[in-house]
Amino acid sequence: MRITDVTPFLLRGNQTYGAHAGAAEATDQGDWLLLVRVRTDEGLEGWSDVETMGPVAARVLQGSGMSALGFRTIHEQLLGRDATDVEAIWDELYVATAYYGRRGVAMHCMSAVDNCLWSIRAQAAGVSLAQALGGRRRDRLPAYASTLFRPTPEENAAAAQRYVDLGFTGMKFGWGGFGTDPGADRDNLAALRETLGPDRALMIDPGWYVEDAGRPRVRTMTETTTMLETLGDGAPYWVEDIVHPERTEQYAVLAAEFPHLRFAAGEQQATIWELRRLVRDHGIAVVQPDLSRCGGLTVASALAPDAARAGVEIVTHSWLTDLLHAYSLHFLSTLPEARWVEFNVAQSELSAGVVNKSLTLAADGTVTVPDGAGLGVEVDLAFVEANAVTP
């Protein structure tokens, strides 16, 4: 079964990233969204989204490369390849893009294509993606609501109450200036904890950089330590992504200083080599490979045994569309232990519109792993084409 086409769909919207006033939902990246479709000569196709710099990635996927190995585009390299030879294709693409890739946009594109090919492999075998990945161990997973901090404690409490009313048993608030004002942090945490009560999990994602007068900079270790001292009072289930992705050894330092806190990281790491180092050496409790960035399902599957041996929990990062949610659900359903799936409640009109039928939260706070051959989620092609622009 040969690959006949690798097509990027670059969608343009008019919503901007950020939180809004009151209990109104935040918005993810609603200005640009990139989807990838891989087609075969037997009529099977796979779709994936990819969280990256969309206009650049579209050219990496289907543009004009150079003659030398290491400078090729993904479309050029994949035409005619056996679509079911997924792991070998990963290795080929890593070499084919080596001089401008290995990480960043090129790896994000590889991740999306890898996901597509796993979906095609499952369709060709007539099984679900989870079965192709080794077999489903559970049919549903608890979901946590993933959103952004609102400006005030009252607004955060109102947002949290809405997620409680929807049935979520866990929720994650992130960014929004958290970690720059200890007093405001303390007030926001107190409001959230009071609303959630003792039986619901609270995850905090402050990020590792801040903006001063519009200029980004890395948060200092002194600022990070002050923030963690405040966070201890909120009893978070985990604290996420607070260290520069090239300095992950700092997690071990922080874990020794704050043994009562659990650290989560990995959404900005790529390749099995980076993720293995993070899991083995750096003091985290939760690893968060993003299937649209880390190298795709091939890399995440290779990571699972390392995480199990190290006693590190895997919770994929999936703050994008229901395509990414579905890939995450299938993967997590195959693991010996899986406690959460991230569920983006801040989807923009673009993110929410790409599938025909949205994944939904059940009354018990879980989301069902999709059924059917392959991914089990259908793309709304009419919506995609209506919102697509020329890269």
In this prediction, what percent of the chain has a pLDDT beyond 90?
93
For 82, 159, 188, the CA distances from 194, given in Å and listed in that order, are 55, 13, 10
In sequence order, which residues have a C-beta less than 8 Å from that of residue 147 and are 6 or more positions away?
A: 25, 26, 159, 163, 171, 172, 173, 174, 345, 346
CATH architecture of 132-379: Alpha-Beta Barrel (3.20)
For residue range 180-201, what is the model confidence (pLDDT) as tens digits? 899 999 999 999 999 999 999 9
Which residue's entry shows tokens 């890898």?
A: 114
Query: What is the C-alpha to C-alpha distance for residues 261 and 306, in angstroms, rounded to an integer?
Result: 22
For residue range 297-340, what is the model confidence (pLDDT) as tens digits? 999 999 999 999 999 999 999 999 999 999 999 999 999 999 99
Confidence of residue 43 (pLDDT cuts 50, 70, 90): very high
In sequence order, which residues have a C-beta less than 8 Å from that of residue 382 and are 6 or more positions away?
A: none
Q: How many CB atoms lie within 10 A of CB 36?
A: 27
Say what the pLDDT of residue 281 is: 77
For residue range 233-281, what is the model confidence (pLDDT) as tens digits? 889 999 999 999 999 999 999 999 999 999 999 999 999 999 999 998 7
CATH architecture of 2-126+382-387: 2-Layer Sandwich (3.30)
Say what the pLDDT of residue 222 is: 94
Domain boundaries of the chain, sorted by first residue: 2-126+382-387, 132-379
Confidence of residue 212 (pLDDT cuts 50, 70, 90): confident
Per-residue pLDDT averaged across 24-29, rounded? 91
pTM: 0.97
For residue range 82-120, what is the model confidence (pLDDT) as tens digits? 999 999 999 999 999 999 999 999 999 999 999 999 999
Query: What is the C-alpha to C-alpha distance for residues 83 and 116, in angstroms, rounded to an integer?
Result: 9
Structure tokens at 146: 């993933």
Question: Which burial class, exposed, middle or buried, applies to 264 when counting CB atoms under 10 A from its CB (0-12, 13-18, 19+)?
Answer: buried
Mapped onto helix, strand or coil, the DSSP state of residue 252 is helix
Per-residue pLDDT averaged across 117-143, rounded? 98
Residue 74 has pLDDT above 90, yes or no: yes
Distance of CA 29 to the CA centre of its chain: 13
Distance of CA 117 to the CA centre of its chain: 18
Say what the pLDDT of residue 282 is: 75
Say what the pLDDT of residue 347 is: 96
In this prediction, what percent of the chain has a pLDDT beyond 70?
100
Query: What is the C-alpha to C-alpha distance for residues 365 and 123, in angstroms, rounded to an integer?
Result: 29
